[in-house]
Chain A
Amino acid sequence: MTDTEAPGSAGTHLPPADHEFTVRYRSRTRLVLRRFVRHRAAMVSLVVFVLIVLWAFVGPHLWHYSYQKYTPDNSQAPSWKHPFGTNASGYDAYAQVMRGTQTSLKVAILIALGSTAVGAVWGAVAGFYRGVVDAIMMRVADLVLTLPLFAIALVISSRSGGSWYWIAAVIAGLTWAYVSRVVRSTVLSLREKEFVEAARALGASDPWIIFRHLLPNALGPVIVNATVLVATGILTETALSFVGFGVQPPDTSLGLLVSQAQTAVDTRPWLFYIPGFFIIAIALTINFIGDGLRDAFDPRQQRVRQ
């Protein structure tokens, strides 16, 4: 009860006479935070995810081996000197996994942000205007969906020289259509709600309605999709790198590390399983965080999460 703000009354803990609701006042930020904190899986995931991010971005500056520098130790098992071991060429796997995680995170987050932004606006506009606009926009989205993601990504990324932002852009350019379909269907039902008509009656313009009223109401599905996309992004990038069309050496990514280590699964398992573990950890934590965010941002959410 420490956060109860006794309204105007000095020292009394009784609700004032004009306080006719039982809901205690909380600011929006605090409300969202409270709900998020209450979602235990999301909180744990957030902590783990932040640790991974810090480790991937700050770690390389503190670690005494560089991901692209040979060490005299070849094919060593994990030790205090090389916590994740070394590979056949003598690279320090710890430095490489850090670098790989960094690249994979950048790719995944760029994919999620890019395709969510494009897809959400695309779907909202199509769903809002319906008719011809909708038909044309959604056929374009359908067209993008029919393109085999992997084949296109292979073709384009093989020409782009394997830089991480190109790979991210290509994957985002092929996944936004999923988001747009989800958002469109949500907006189709939202646009018939009376508050849209009310907003119009107050002089709101079309863009205003789309961005201030429809998209905030579609936030739940959008966040869920974005988190799924982070996971998809990581896995797609992994797959691309695995077949050799993703990030190119000397740079590295988690997918590339797994790919390079596939021949060594039996002999030097640490080279294969450790980057694999990080792929799973990132995908999983992001999904839980998304779950928590969706619950937290939905003001109608009253359920108490365990």
Chain B
Amino acid sequence: MTTTSHGVREVPVTEAVLEVDDLSVEFPTEDGTVRAVRGVGYRLGRGDSLGIVGESGSGKSVTALAVMGLLPGAARVRGSVRFEGTELLGLSDARLSDVRGNGIAMIFQDPMTSLNPVHPVGYQITETLRRHNPDLTSRAARARAVELLGTVGIPSPERRADTYPHEMSGGMRQRVVIAIAMANDPDVIIADEPTTALDVTVQAQILEALQAARAQTGAALVLITHDLGVVAGHTDRVAVMYAGRIVETGSVEDIFYTPRMPYTLGLLGSLPRLDREEERLTPITGSPPSLLNLPPGCPFAPRCPLRREACDSSEPPLRRAGHDAHLSACHFAGELVGTGAADVFDTAGADSEALARFADTPPSTHAEEDPA
């Protein structure tokens, strides 16, 4: 926040606002330790945008909450989270509170529940403003709140400021949440599935509001989502998470055009595309492994069509695939050059097999009759 007052951000490209290193999170449960995040690391320069994609339970949200220091007390967090050079892990809650909402802001998934129902939305913005700027007069805070509501695209913000969350639509509420997040000019905004709870029709508007917020604050963005399309449109870099680890990371182009990890390939293959004529999507069969007792080896191996012996014995580290910034955690990343999802995965997935079974009506046509 040192050079921002001049309007021009003459910050060297190498300066990182948020550095996450070898972050791991474990939850002790009655059945054993759940290793929700296993050595995640990323680096966010000023104004950068990073998309984190992955299935439910891949550790995306837990990583974000760990960065914010919002995990429950039982969670064991190790590794390092540095915000503008300051280590956040191990900071007291009070010190951390000064960073939250001011240096790093977070946007939650469901705007229906992340706004306090008993306060008008304007109040909730001024509350944030005054938490980090105690000298601000209520009049100035109010003016700023109205301005923020305008920035995120809320019509007649002056009047909207006095409405309660329940009087707004989901999209409007999520705009309010974005306005709250950008209120204190944060350096990093973490958006945890900001559009998941909303109608598809308002998703684009919300993402626009998010872009407007970034444009005004110059904040770096961590966009957590399971929507690859959202990532492609709104971030520069992508990290694909699977079973608590980043399994592939690179620029949007790297990930979308030259994926080097079968899981990424599978994700892309399961995406409906309007620009290609494909009869069927290629599903990834199976489900993610339990994080309770991970077997040795690559966690994706049980679902991987390229599985070999090496996959079951050792977990591949994240290493260079292609150029410098493109990393992949696959033993055979090199073999994936130039392949598409349909080449690797069986297009006729589980669902088509099931369909075929229904289609073959007479049981006599089944294979077991052949030897008889």
Contacts and interface: CB of A to CB of B under 8 A. Distances in A.
A250 interface: no
B99 interface: yes
B100 A198 contact: no
Interface residues of B, number: 38
Contact of B101 (A7, A194, A203, A212): A203
Contacts of A206: 93
Given A7-B159, A18-B155, A203-B98, A198 B177 contact: yes
B162 A201 contact: no
A219 B132 contact: no
A219 B117 CA distance: 12
Interface in B97-139: 97-102, 105-106, 108, 110, 113-120, 127-128, 131-132
A28 interface: yes
B116 A201 contact: no
B167 interface: yes
A197 B70 contact: yes
Given A23-B167, A201-B106, A299-B166, A216 B119 contact: yes
B108 A198 contact: yes
Contacts of A212: 119, 127
Contact of B68 (A21, A23, A201, A204): A201
A208 B108 CA distance: 20
B287 interface: no
Contact size range, A: 20 to 34
A278 B275 CA distance: 81
A199 B106 contact: no
A139 interface: no
A202 B156 contact: no
Contacts of A20: 155
B156 A7 contact: yes
Given A20-B155, A23-B163, A28-B162, A200 B113 contact: no
Contacts of B162: 25, 27-28
A150 interface: no
A195 B108 CA distance: 9
A104 B145 CA distance: 47
Nearest to B100: A203
B50 to A, nearest CB: 18
A23 B159 CA distance: 11
B100 A19 contact: no
Interface string A183-226: 00000000001110111111111101000110011010000000
Contacts of A23: 163, 167
A219 B105 CA distance: 29
Contacts of B117: 195, 217, 299-300
B28 to A, nearest CB: 15
Contact of A300 (B93, B120, B166, B168): B166
Given A21-B167, A203-B100, A203-B131, A195 B115 contact: yes
A205 B117 CA distance: 19
Contact of A217 (B93, B118, B169, B177): B118
Nearest to A131: B73
Task: Select the residue from A23, A27, A203, A297 with max chain B CB neighbours within 10 A.
Answer: A203
B147 to A, nearest CB: 17
Given A23-B163, A205-B97, A216 B118 contact: yes
A20 to B, nearest CB: 6
A205 B127 CA distance: 12
B180 interface: yes
A203 B115 contact: no
A292 to B, nearest CB: 17
B94 interface: yes
B332 interface: no
A25 B269 CA distance: 49
Interface in A7-27: 7-8, 16, 18-21, 23, 25, 27
Contacts of A299: 117-118, 164, 166
A298 B56 CA distance: 36
Contact of B70 (A201, A217, A300): A201
A205 B70 CA distance: 12
B69 to A, nearest CB: 9
A67 B341 CA distance: 95
Contacts of A197: 70, 108, 114
B71 to A, nearest CB: 11
Contacts of A18: 155-156
B163 A200 contact: no
Contact of B105 (A27, A201, A298): A201
A189 to B, nearest CB: 12
Nearest to A212: B127
B155 A219 contact: no
A202 B177 contact: no
Task: Select the residue from A19, A20, A195, A213 with max chain B CB neighbours within 10 A.
Answer: A195
Nearest to A193: B113
B100 A202 contact: yes
Interface in B288-339: none
B27 to A, nearest CB: 17
The 9 A-B pairs at the shortest CB distance, nearest first, are namely: A202-B101, A203-B101, A18-B155, A194-B113, A201-B106, A198-B114, A203-B100, A299-B164, A194-B114
Interface of B: 68, 70, 93-94, 97-102, 105-106, 108, 110, 113-120, 127-128, 131-132, 155-156, 159, 162-164, 166-169, 177, 180
9 contacts: A16-B156, A23-B163, A27-B162, A194-B113, A200-B100, A201-B106, A203-B98, A203-B128, A204-B131
Given A217-B118, A300-B164, 12 more contacts: A23-B167, A194-B113, A195-B115, A197-B108, A197-B114, A201-B106, A202-B100, A202-B105, A203-B128, A216-B119, A299-B118, A300-B117
